[in-house]
Amino acid sequence: MLLPAALFKRPGFPIITAVLTVADVATLLDAFDPRGDARAALSVARVRALLAQSPDPFARTTYAPGHLTASGVVLSPDRGSVLLVYHRRLARWLQPGGHIEPEDESVTEAARREVLEETGVKLDRDRAALVVGVDVHAIPAARGEPPHWHHDLAVTFVARKKKLRPTEEVREAVWCALDDLDRYAVDGALRRSVKRALRLLGQAA
């Protein structure tokens, strides 16, 4: 079984009690239903190809063709808004997210950590976190990195409160009402993820 670089002992990192594996990600993909979403279906196929071919799909320094990332589709407690951050590199509004770190025990925990680090929003742990989006998108060259692809798995969460505390990692964070997505030019992939989140959370309620 292919294991990420997190398996190796490195100074400054905590003891890892569980290691995120390719099999873990494959299981998440198996549970994700992209029916009716051609872009998501293609992205699932591309993520599977990455898992099969990459020597370390979790490493942010794997550029050919890219690496896995995790993001959070976070709904407000009343489920009437979705959390957005302004992505400086792509110059657009997206869900919070980022790279999977060596200490992350799962894709869900990576997404949860990114949400907290970028926005300060604390998430409800009583609800099951489910994958609601899979999207492969291009990242332009910057800061010594070549152009590459992010193979992103989006996990849904519900916030405990709407209090925001944006950090230096993002320029701005906002709660966007679900009927105001056009204002922030939210793309189709995120819109479809929000719809899946609402449907799945409704079933789990």
Residue pLDDT tens, the chain, 205 long: 344 444 333 334 333 345 799 999 999 999 999 999 999 999 999 999 999 999 999 999 999 999 999 999 999 999 999 999 998 878 899 999 999 999 999 999 999 999 999 999 999 988 778 999 999 999 999 889 999 999 999 999 999 999 998 777 777 999 999 999 999 999 999 999 999 999 998 855 4
pLDDT in tens, 124-180: 988 778 999 999 999 999 889 999 999 999 999 999 999 998 777 777 999 999 999
CATH 3.90.79.10 fits 18-204, yes or no: yes
Domain spans in the chain, listed from the N-terminal domain onward: 18-204
Residue 18: the pLDDT is 55
Residue 203: the pLDDT is 58
Nearest to 84 by CA among 200, 180, 150: 180
Residue 157: the pLDDT is 97
Strands (E) located in the chain: 66-75, 81-87, 92-94, 97-99, 131-139, 148-158, 173-177
Residue 9: the pLDDT is 33
Q: Are 108 and 73 in contact (CB under 8 A)?
A: no
Nearest to 82 by CA among 203, 196, 169, 170: 196
Q: 0.75 exceeded by the pTM? A: yes
The tokens for 99 are 């790279």
